[in-house]
């Protein structure tokens, strides 16, 4: 079974501070992992995926198969980063399974 766990429902940091949103997954095969972001009352947008190993808006995420984690990190948070962040896993069934989301608030 595919499962994604985001242990923090809420995360609050100050502007300029580092931020890490945790994501752990459970899947027996080779997963594809993603981070999606949802700004207030807007559509979900793909932030990044582990296959691309890219950095978007200063965010990075590294897949750690040993720890089954895909934590999202940014060294210096900005106020405009405040949003809901969802970690998601696809196990080859064309179905994305989402974590419950972490609401990030970046305070001035």
Beta carbons of 100 and 88 less than 8 angstroms apart: no
Angle at 14 between CA 13 and CA 18, to 5 degrees: 65
| 11 part of the interface to another protein, by CB under 8 A | no
Return the range that interacts with another protein (CB under 8 A); candidates 21-29, 47-55, 61-69, 75-83: 47-55
Q: Which is closer to another protein, CB of 42 or CB of 76? A: 42
Q: Who contacts 6 (Cβ-Cβ below 8 Å, separation ≥6)? A: 21, 22, 23, 85, 86, 87, 99, 100, 101, 102
Closest CB 92 distance from another protein, rounded Å: 9
- Would you tell me which residues interact with another protein (CB under 8 A)? 32, 42-46, 49, 51-52, 84, 86, 90, 93-98, 100-101, 103
């Amino acid at each position: 079974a595919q499962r994604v766990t985001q242990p923090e429902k809420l995360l609050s940091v100050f502007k300029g501070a580092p931020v890490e949103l945790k994501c752990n997954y459970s899947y027996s095969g080779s997963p594809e992992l993603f981070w999606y972001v949802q700004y207030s009352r807007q559509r979900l947008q793909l932030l990044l995926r582990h296959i691309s190993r890219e950095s978007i808006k200063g965010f990075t995420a590294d897949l750690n198969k040993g720890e089954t984690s895909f934590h999202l990190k940014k060294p210096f948070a900005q106020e405009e980063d405040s949003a809901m962040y969802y970690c998601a896993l696809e196990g080859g069934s064309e179905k994305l399974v989402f974590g419950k989301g972490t609401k990030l608030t970046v305070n001035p």
